[in-house]
C-alpha cells in the first residue's frame, strides 16, 4: 500500500533555470556585473552531470553538490568574463541554488498529497540546500532525503534503497515523482512505484529530452495538481 | 551566528508518558485487555537506556530504536500478564511510540522560532517514527535528524557532529533544546549552544532528575514559548 511520495527536486519541484537567471540578474544589477546570465545558468547546469559522474564512477571520493557547484562555477567564470569575482561573490552565486521558486502547481499539489501520504525529497541536492529551499519556497516536506544522507548520487541504488530503509517500508510502498525518465527507471528497478510529471521548459531553449513519459510509469500527469487528482488526494 | 535549533524529542517536545498511557488504555478497552498501563509505560521506558547501552558500547551492531522497542516489549509482556498478545497486537503497541502528543506549549513555540531559525529534531527515535509523529502532532520541522542517519545514539559525538555537517555549518551555529542535562552536556562538548526546558512531569511519579538546569546553559526557559521570547522570536 502506497505510504510515501518522494520527489525529485531540481526541475520537478522547482524551476531552477528561471529562478537562477532572475536571481543572478538582480544580483548583477546590485553589484554592477555584466554577463549573459541565462547562458551562465545553462552552462552551470551542464556541468552538473559530468561533475557527479566522477563521484558516481568512484574516480573521486564522496563530494557533496555544494562543493561540485562551486568547482563548476570557478571553471565557468573566466568564460563569462567574470574571473574577477571574489570569494564572497562566488559564495553568493552558489547559494543561489538554495533559493529556487516552485512551479506554479507545486505548492497546491504538495499540500493535497501530503494529506494522504508522507511527502519528502529524494534529491541530489544537499540537506542544507534542500532545507533552505523548503523554507524559502514554503515546501511542506515531512522529511528530507538527500544524496548527503547516502553519500551517493542518484541513480545509485543506495539512494532509493536507503530512503526505503529509513522509511522502514518496502520500496513498493514508495512512489518517486520526477520529471526525468532516467530517475524513474532507476526507482522502478529498485521496486518503487513511479509518476512522471513533464516539465518541458525546465532547460529553456536547450531542452532536448524528457518532454514525455518514456516508460510505463504508474502515473503520468501534466502537473502536481493533476497528479493529486489521479491519486484521489 | 545562530542558524538552527535542534530539539530532543521524547520528553522535550512530546509528553510520551501521558500519550502512551492514554493510547494503551483506549487500545485495551477496544481489545478487552487488562493491565496497569501506566506501570507498563514506565517499565517500557526504563528499558530504553539499557537497550541503547549495548549498542553504544559496541556489544551489538547498530540496531534502530524500533527494534529495541520491540525487544523490550517482548521481555515486558509476561510481567504484565500479557504474554498472550499476538504479533499484530505487539506491532500496534510499538507503533504507539510514533503517535505522541506535544506538550501544550510545543506547537506555538516551534511556530515562533521557525520564523527565525531552521528547526529540526535531534533524536534517538527513528526517521519513520519522527516523520509519523510530526504528521500526527503537526510538528513543523524543517528537517529531521535521527539516530538512524548516523547509526549512533546520543550522546555519541557522531550525532551532534553529523547533524552539523549535514547543515553545512559549525556546531556553534546550532543550539540543542532539551529537557535532559546529559544531552545538553554532550552537545556543548561538541560545540553546540544549549537551551534547557524543564519537563518535570515527563516521567510521572518516578521522575528523579532533570527538574532543573545543571549546567550553565545559554538559555533556560520554562517552556518553548518562553524560550521563543528569550530568542526574540
pLDDT digits (tens, 9 = 90+) for B38-95: 999 999 999 999 999 999 999 999 999 999 999 999 999 999 999 999 999 999 999 9
Work out the pLDDT band at B203, boundaries 50, 70, 90. very high
The rounded distance, in Å, linking the Cα atoms of B228 and B171 is: 20
The minimum CA-CA distance between B85 and chain A, rounded to whole Å, is 23
Contact B134 A142 (CB under 8 A): yes
Say yes or no: A68 contacts chain B, CB-CB below 8 A: no
Task: State the best of B3, B168, B170 to mutate against chain A, taking most chain A CBs within 10 Å.
Answer: B168
Whether A169 has its CB under 8 Å from any CB of chain B: the answer is yes
Q: What is the pLDDT of residues B139-193, one digit of tens each?
A: 999 999 999 999 999 999 999 999 999 999 999 999 999 999 999 999 999 999 9
Contact A148 B126 (CB under 8 A): no
Residues 97-126 of A with CB under 8 A from B: 118, 120, 126
Confidence band for B122, pLDDT divided at 50, 70 and 90? very high
Q: Which residues contact A216 (CB under 8 A, 6 or more apart)?
A: none
What are the structural domains, with CATH classification, of chain A? 4-15+100-230 (3.40.50.1000), 16-98 (1.10.150.240)
Distance CA B92, CA B95 (A): 5
Confirm or reject contact between B131 and chain A (CB < 8 A): yes
pTM above 0.90, yes or no: yes
Instruction: Tell me the shortest Cα–Cα distance from B99 to chain A, in angstroms.
Output: 15
Q: B125: Cβ–Cβ under 8 A, 6 or more apart, which residues?
A: B9, B10, B65, B97, B133, B146, B147
Q: Identify the three-state secondary structure at position A119.
A: strand
Main-chain phi, psi angles of B196, to 5 degrees: -105, 130
Q: How far away is chain B from the Cα of A26, in angstroms, using its nearest Cα?
A: 24
Is the ipTM higher than 0.85? The answer is yes
Amino acid at each position: 500500500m502506497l505510504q510515501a511520495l518522494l520527489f525529485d527536486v531540481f526541475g520537478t519541484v522547482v524551476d531552477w533555470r528561471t529562478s537562477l537567471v532572475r536571481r543572478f540578474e538582480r544580483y548583477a544589477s546590485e553589484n554592477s556585473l555584466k554577463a549573459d546570465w541565462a547562458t551562465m545558468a545553462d552552462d552551470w547546469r551542464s556541468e552538473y552531470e559530468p561533475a557527479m559522474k566522477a563521484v558516481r564512477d568512484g574516480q573521486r571520493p564522496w563530494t557533496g553538490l555544494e562543493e561540485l557547484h562551486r568547482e563548476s562555477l570557478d571553471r565557468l567564470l573566466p568564460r563569462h568574463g567574470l574571473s574577477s569575482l571574489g570569494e564572497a561573490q562566488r559564495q553568493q552565486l552558489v547559494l543561489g541554488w538554495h533559493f529556487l521558486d516552485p512551479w506554479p502547481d507545486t505548492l497546491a499539489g504538495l499540500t493535497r498529497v501530503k494529506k494522504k501520504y508522507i511527502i519528502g525529497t529524494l534529491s541530489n541536492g544537499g540537506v542544507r540546500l534542500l532545507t533552505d529551499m523548503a523554507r524559502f519556497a514554503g515546501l511542506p516536506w515531512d522529511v528530507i532525503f538527500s544524496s548527503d544522507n547516502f553519500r551517493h548520487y542518484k541513480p545509485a541504488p543506495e539512494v532509493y534503497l536507503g530512503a526505503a530503509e529509513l522509511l522502514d517500508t518496502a520500496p513498493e510502498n514508495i512512489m518517486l515523482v520526477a520529471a526525468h525518465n532516467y530517475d524513474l527507471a532507476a526507482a522502478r528497478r529498485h521496486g518503487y512505484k513511479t509518476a512522471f510529471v513533464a516539465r518541458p521548459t525546465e532547460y529553456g531553449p536547450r531542452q532536448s529530452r524528457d518532454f514525455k513519459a518514456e516508460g510505463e510509469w504508474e502515473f503520468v500527469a501534466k502537473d502536481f495538481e493533476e497528479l493529486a487528482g489521479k491519486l484521489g488526494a
